[in-house]
Chain A
Amino acid sequence: MDPIVANLDFLIGGYATTLKLSAGAMALALAIGVLVASVRVWGGRIGSAAGGAYVEFFRNTPLLVQLFFYAVLFAPANLGLSRDPVVVALVGLSVYTGAYVTEVIRSGILSVDQRQSEAARSLGLSQVQTLRRVVLPQAFRTVIPPLGNLSIALVKNTAVASAIGALELLQAGSIVSSRTFRLEPLAGVVVAYLSITIPLAILTGHLERRLRFAR
C-alpha cells in the first residue's frame, strides 16, 4: 500500500478529475440528447435527417479517434480553443455520449402513447408545453435503466482521456505505478472506478423503483 499512501494527494486529484469529467459530460450529454431527440421526433424531415446524421457519425467512430481529432482541432495552432486536455475530453465525451443518449431518449419519447399528446393539446397546451410537461417526464421514467447503463459506460470511457494527456484517474494511477514498479496503484484505480460505477448502478435501480408508474 505504500506507493498509494505516498502519492495519495496526486491520486485523489486524478480521481476528482474523473468525477468532474463524468458528471460534466453526463449533464451535457443529457442536454444534447433531449435536444437532438426532440428534433429527431418533431423536427420534420430535415431535423430528423440532421439528428440522424449526428447520431450515426458519432456512435460509429471510435471515441479515441474523436478525442485525438478534438485535441488537434482545439490546439493553439488551429482553433486555439483550449490546450487543456480535460476540457477537450469533456467536449469529446459529451458529444460522443450524447449520440447514445439521443437514441435512448428518442425511444422513450416514442414509447409514450400518442393519445397523451392529444389529450394535452386538447387542453390547449402548446407543442412545447406538451413535450415538457407530459411527454418528456414519461419518456424519462421509461428510459432510466438504459440511461443508467450509459452513465456507467461514460465513467469508464473517461479513462480514454488519459490518451490525450488528461491527468485523470487512470493517468494518475499509471504514473505512480510506473514510477514505483508496483501493481497496487493500478489495483487502486480499479477499486476507485468501482466506487463510482457501483453506486451509479444502485442509484439507477433506486430511481427506477421510485419513479415507476403503471400505465
Chain B
Amino acid sequence: MLGNPEDKAAAAAAAARPAGARPASPPAAGAMIDVRDVSKSFGSLRVLKNVSMQVDRGQVVVVIGPSGSGKSTLLRCVNRLETVDSGEVVVDGRSLSDPKLNVNAVRREIGVVFQSFNLFPHLTVLSNLTLAPMNVLKLDRAAAEERARRLLEKVGIPDKADALPTQLSGGQQQRVAIARALCMEPRIMLFDEPTSALDPEMIKEVLDVMRDLAREGMTMMVVSHEMGFAREVADRVIFMDQGEIVETGTPEHFFSEPEHERTKRFLGTILRH
C-alpha cells in the first residue's frame, strides 16, 4: 500500500517546507516521525540547520546526500542517540525533548540497523536476537527463541542460529541485525547506510529483506544511496547537503527532473559510478 501519486505529491509538498521556516501547524495525523525545525552542532560545526521532515505511518523515506551532509545525524536524532540543540523530534506523538520521557520505552518501538551491523560478538546469533526481548519485554526464553527463529527464517538464515556473528558474511550479519531489531516488534525502522559496508553481491540480499519489510507496511527511514531501492519502494526521497534539506520529492522526480544544481551534481556522481 504505497498510496496514489496525489498522496505522494501532497506528502512531498508537506515535507518540502523551505529550510528555516518555523513549523506553522501541527503535523498531519499520520506522522510517525515528525522532525520540526531541528538544529544540531558538534562544537563549531553545524551539522543540522533548521531541518524539518516527516515520515507518515507506513511510508518509506530514503535520505540521500554526500558524506558530512548530516543525514546520519538526522537519523540518529530520531531515536535520541543524538540530542537536538533546538527544534523538536516527535515520534509517534511523543516529543523526544520531553524531560519526563522514558527514552527506553520509545527506543523499543524504533528498530535501528547500522552500517557496521553492531552485532554483539560475544553472543550467538540466537542470543543476539533474544537479548532485548528477554530483558526489556520480559519474554521467557522459549517465547523469545520462538520469535527469534521465526525472524531468522524471515531474513533467510534459519540455519545460523547457533553461529557467532563473526562466522557470518557481511550480508548475513546485516540480515541478523535486521532480525534483531524486528524481534522487538518495532513500529518504525531506521536504517543508517545498511549496505555501505557490504560487497556488491551481498547488497541485494539485504535490500530484498528491506523491500519485503516495506511491502508489509513498515514505517521506514533509510539513509542510503541505493537509488534502485529508492525507486522501487520509497514514497519520498530527501536530498540533504551541508546540514540542510535541499530537495524532497518522489524517486521519479529525482530520476527525471531534479530541480537544484547540487542535487543534479550529486545524483550525477552516484548514478554514474
- Chain A residues in contact with chain B, CB under 8 A? 113, 115-116, 118-126, 129, 133-134, 137-138, 141, 213-215
The residue in chain B whose Cβ has the minimal distance to the Cβ of A127 is: B104
List the A side residues contacting B105 at CB < 8 Å.
124
Contacts A119-B112, A123-B180, A123-B181 given: A129-B135 contact, CB under 8 Å? yes
- In the complex, A133 Cα to B79 Cα: how many Å? 21
The 27 sampled A-B contact pairs (Cβ below 8 Å) are A116-B118, A118-B81, A119-B112, A119-B118, A119-B119, A119-B120, A120-B120, A120-B132, A121-B107, A122-B81, A122-B181, A123-B108, A124-B132, A124-B136, A124-B184, A125-B131, A126-B104, A133-B131, A133-B135, A134-B120, A134-B131, A137-B122, A138-B121, A213-B121, A214-B121, A214-B164, A215-B166
List the A side residues contacting B107 at CB < 8 Å.
121-124
| Contact bitstring B224-248, A, C-beta under 8 A = 1, else 0 | 0000000000000000000000000
B 96-131 contacts with A by CB, 8 A: 104-105, 107-108, 110-112, 114, 116, 118-122, 131
Contacts A124-B108, A125-B104, A125-B132 given: A213-B164 contact, CB under 8 Å? yes
List the A side residues contacting B135 at CB < 8 Å.
125, 129, 133
Contacts A121-B81, A123-B180, A124-B108 given: A116-B132 contact, CB under 8 Å? no
CB distance from B161 to the nearest CB of A (A): 17
List the B side residues contacting A122 at CB < 8 Å.
79, 81, 107, 110-112, 181
Q: Judge whether A123 and B118 touch: CB under 8 Å.
A: no
- In the complex, A125 Cα to B181 Cα: how many Å? 12
CB distance from A38 to the nearest CB of B (A): 18
- In the complex, A120 Cα to B164 Cα: how many Å? 17
Interface size class of B (residues with CB under 8 A): 20 to 34
The residue in chain B whose Cβ has the minimal distance to the Cβ of A126 is: B104
- In the complex, A120 Cα to B120 Cα: how many Å? 9
Contact for B118 among A118, A129, A138, A213, CB less than 8 A: A118
CB distance from A126 to the nearest CB of B (A): 6
- State the majority secondary structure of interface residues on A: helix
The residue in chain A whose Cβ has the minimal distance to the Cβ of B166 is: A214
- Chain B residues in contact with chain A, CB under 8 A? 79, 81, 104-105, 107-108, 110-112, 114, 116, 118-122, 131-132, 135-136, 164, 166, 180-181, 184
CB distance from A210 to the nearest CB of B (A): 12
CB distance from A207 to the nearest CB of B (A): 14
Q: Judge whether B131 and A123 touch: CB under 8 Å.
A: yes
List the A side residues contacting B116 at CB < 8 Å.
115
- In the complex, A113 Cα to B120 Cα: how many Å? 10
User: Ordered nearest first, which 6 A-B pairs have the shortest CB separation?
Assistant: A124-B108, A119-B118, A123-B132, A122-B112, A214-B166, A124-B136
List the A side residues contacting B166 at CB < 8 Å.
213-215
The residue in chain A whose Cβ has the minimal distance to the Cβ of B180 is: A123
- In the complex, A115 Cα to B120 Cα: how many Å? 10
List the B side residues contacting A119 at CB < 8 Å.
112, 114, 118-120
- In the complex, A214 Cα to B164 Cα: how many Å? 9
Contact for B121 among A126, A133, A215, CB less than 8 A: A215
CB distance from B103 to the nearest CB of A (A): 8
Q: Judge whether A213 and B122 touch: CB under 8 Å.
A: yes
CB distance from A128 to the nearest CB of B (A): 10
Interface centre among B104, B122, B132 (most CB of A within 10 A): B122
CB distance from A132 to the nearest CB of B (A): 9
